[in-house]
Amino acid sequence: MTVISGNGFKKRSINVDTQAMLEIAHKQGIPTVWERLEAQQPQCGYCNLGTSCRICAMGPCRVDPFGDGPQKGVCGADADIIVARNLARMVAAGAASHSDHGRDILETLHHVGEGHTDAYTISDPAKLRRLAAEYHIATEGKSDQQVAKELAWEMMEDYGMRRQQLPLSLRAPQARQELWKKLGVMPRGVDWENVETLHRTHMGVDNDWVNILLHSARNALSDGWGGSMLATELSDVLFGVPTPKMSQVNLGVLKASHVNIILHGHNPMLSEVIVAASQDPELLALAKAKGAQGINLAGLCCTGNEVLMRKGIPMAGNHLMQELAIMTGAVELMVVDYQCIMPAVTETARCFHTKVVSTFDKARFPGAEHISFDPGRGLEIGKQIVRLAVENFSKRVPERVIIPVQPAPMMTGFSIEAILQALGGTPQPLIDAIVKGNIRGAVGIVGCNNPKIKQDLGHTELTKRLIENDILVVVTGCATVADGKAGLMTPQAAEKAGPGLRAVCQALGIPPVLHLGSCVDNTRILVLAAALANTLGVDISALPLAGAAPEWYSEKAVAIGVYVVASGIYTVLGVAPPVFGSPNVVKLLTEGLEGVFGATFAVEADPDRAAALIRRHIEKKRAGLGLEALDPGSIPLPEAQLALA
Ligand code: BF8
Ligand code: SF4
């Protein structure tokens, strides 16, 4: 594979650390995700448009969107059916990933309840009891352990088929719940909705593309108000509700003087025990004996977000940094759990002394050392992994260590509880600021990196346009790292906001861009939106809110987008989903859904244009609530600088 020549790497990312590591990759002839993307060109046009199908052995089939080639698959499926089925399967895979992660956390809560582990405990008994109340579990006079056991038992039903409505969906405004009931999309069991999607999209089952997509919304809702929400809530119970704190971000968080361990993936169960193990006096002494000054942990992707939010562990990077972090030559060990971990990392690690350790039996990586994770022996396994890292320090080649930047400061830890506390216990001050127009509205910028888009450009430019127009931004997932590195997540960044938002941030000592956590923590956005709507006595779709996923790549992001829209929040995607082969599906997603869920998708790669679309939407919603509002038409839609990916 040829590695890019010259200065091409500057076009790939806005970040100095990425550019520096790409230069090293270039000099050392190590391929990265960008080379592999180039090697895939031209990518399949049918797949890009969503009109290829390989779900049965009469196929694979394709429908020619230009009318020259076949218009039907072998079974007779047309472009609408094929596109809808493919999209539904993406949603199911994304929802399954989040929800299975939630199941693992739930299993851990169950272990705690049964007394089968001493590696985990109930860190927030008050939140445990609040959740128990939502599940109608009497808690008086019961120990935390007993409550944990009963709650775990009840929540296991969230995955089954005895529920006609997921209990956490009762947090949604009454009007939204009634709408879901009327449409027949009230989320029931998480596994039920996922399996039903797979059933409906088998050949010869659901051949009504609208019906397929309606169920897909139900499937996504079972993720947002079920599996993902459960993952967030139970992680808070077990590991603590995040509170605001300062930390650092970018590759500069790696320390040449220390044993460096990167925590990569999504599930905090493993990373929490590694954090504990890294403070073990015996292992610290061993690190010193090996010539290191200490043990340094750094996060990547959403595992990074989890430990950043709760423990302030610094963040090395987002999705496109995973191979590049290894190329610093300073990483003794990368421990992975699951999701978004490119199989390429083990190959990159082979060029360095870095050990990759996989930990979940459902996520094996050839080339990695596998240490099977068992929550019952969590701390012991954590120590085993940290020991491997410390012992690997002697294999480091100091001349190859390049840490290209100084770390950037960022603030983290904005759980809904923390936001409400900062506001004095109720969302009212935020509502007042929105009513007065100091804050025009709020936008969740979420999701990934995708090598089809210059790394972090989509996130940071959109964020800047929004905050300078007095729109509060909340971030999760890989968007966090982008905005953190760009210096948008410190209290001082309030200077970059418009006058109204700036004044609010300065009064509260908070940044204009708040970190709400990992991708499952997008459910914190749902909870905040529901709390605002319930306080105002309106549905979520009436609020001046929006979502954006400027650089998404993952099926999980599709599930998130669908549950956000189905919850009533307008969402702009920066990367085109594979639906454009069906004008009917596109029309439904971008227009028709307004009359169904009161919110639609838009697709816009250019961040300036995306910001204008969002601002117009927010002003429209302000007017709808009877608040002072700009004429949406007065907000210019700039010329596109970036084409659709
Ligand atoms: O769940 S933002 S690249 S790391 S999918 Fe993955 Fe996307 Fe990052 Fe987290 Ni979310
Ligand atoms: Fe072709 Fe139909 Fe089979 Fe899909 S389900 S591969 S369109 S025959």
- Is residue 230 predicted with pLDDT exceeding 90? yes
Segment 122-132 shows an average pLDDT of 98
pLDDT score recorded for residue 644 = 52
pLDDT in tens, 136-145: 999 999 999 9
Burial class (CB in 10 A: 0-12, 13-18, 19+), 157: middle
CA of 72 to the centre of ligand 2 (A): 9
CATH topology of domain 93-106+116-239: Substrate Binding Domain Of Dnak; Chain:A; Domain 2 (1.20.1270)
Q: Give Cβ neighbours of residue 231 (< 8 Å, ≥ 6 apart).
A: 98, 99, 101, 102, 105, 520, 523
Residue 548 — pLDDT band, cuts 50, 70, 90?
very high
Q: Tell me how crowded residue 187 is: count the other CB atoms within 10 A of its CB.
A: 30
pLDDT score recorded for residue 375 = 86
CA of 70 to the centre of ligand 1 (A): 36
| Residue appearing with tokens 């994304």 | 94
pLDDT score recorded for residue 643 = 61
On whether the CB atoms of residues 529 and 567 are closer than 8 A, the answer is: yes
Burial class (CB in 10 A: 0-12, 13-18, 19+), 16: middle
Amino acid of residue 529 = A
Q: Is 438 helix (H, G, I), strand (E, B) or coil?
A: coil
Comma-separated ranges of CATH 1.20.1270.30 domains in the chain = 93-106+116-239
pLDDT score recorded for residue 3 = 47
Q: Give Cβ neighbours of residue 306 (< 8 Å, ≥ 6 apart).
A: 235, 239, 266, 267, 268, 271, 299, 517, 518
Segment 282-300 shows an average pLDDT of 98
Please state, in angstroms and rounded to a whole number, the distance separating the CA atoms of residues 121 and 113: 9
pLDDT score recorded for residue 119 = 87
| Residue appearing with tokens 């990265």 | 32
Share of the chain above pLDDT 90, in %: 95
Pairing mode of beta strands 333-336, 315-317: unpaired
Select 251-400's CATH number: 3.40.50.2030, 3.40.630.30, 3.30.70.3270, 3.90.230.10: 3.40.50.2030
On whether the CB atoms of residues 240 and 415 are closer than 8 A, the answer is: no
Share of the chain above pLDDT 70, in %: 98
CATH number of 411-644: 3.40.50.2030
- Is residue 7 predicted with pLDDT exceeding 70? no
pLDDT score recorded for residue 602 = 98
pLDDT in tens, 56-100: 999 999 999 888 999 999 999 999 999 999 999 999 999 999 999
Nearest-10 crossing angle of helices 79-114, 268-277:
40
Instruction: State both tokens at 265.
Output: 């993936």
| Residue appearing with tokens 């708040």 | 514
Please state, in angstroms and rounded to a whole number, the distance separating the CA atoms of residues 353 and 394: 9
Segment 241-270 shows an average pLDDT of 98
Q: Give Cβ neighbours of residue 300 (< 8 Å, ≥ 6 apart).
A: 262, 263, 264, 315, 316, 317, 318, 321, 322, 325, 334
Comma-separated ranges of CATH 3.40.50.2030 domains in the chain = 251-400, 411-644
Please state, in angstroms and rounded to a whole number, the distance separating the CA atoms of residues 581 and 61: 14
Please state, in angstroms and rounded to a whole number, the distance separating the CA atoms of residues 401 and 153: 49
CA of 554 to the centre of ligand 1 (A): 7
Ligand 2 contact via 45 beta carbon (within 6 Å): no
Average pLDDT, the chain: 96
pLDDT in tens, 356-368: 999 999 999 999 9
pLDDT score recorded for residue 640 = 84
pLDDT score recorded for residue 8 = 74
Please state, in angstroms and rounded to a whole number, the distance separating the CA atoms of residues 642 and 575: 11
Ligand 1 contact via 445 beta carbon (within 6 Å): no
Q: Is 263 helix (H, G, I), strand (E, B) or coil?
A: strand
Residue 10 — pLDDT band, cuts 50, 70, 90?
confident
Residue 171 — pLDDT band, cuts 50, 70, 90?
very high
pLDDT in tens, 20-52: 999 999 999 999 999 999 999 999 999 999 999
Of all protein residues, the one whose alpha carbon is nearest to atom 3 of ligand 1 is 448
- Is residue 1 predicted with pLDDT exceeding 80? no
Ligand 2 contact via 62 beta carbon (within 6 Å): no
Ligand 1 contact via 102 beta carbon (within 6 Å): no
Lowest-confidence pick of 376-380, 428-432, 505-509: 376-380
Q: Is the peptide bond before 31 cis (omega within 30 degrees of 0)?
A: no
- Is residue 645 predicted with pLDDT exceeding 60? no
DSSP secondary-structure letter at 377?
G
What sign results for the dihedral spanned by CA atoms 625, 629, 631, 632? Answer: negative
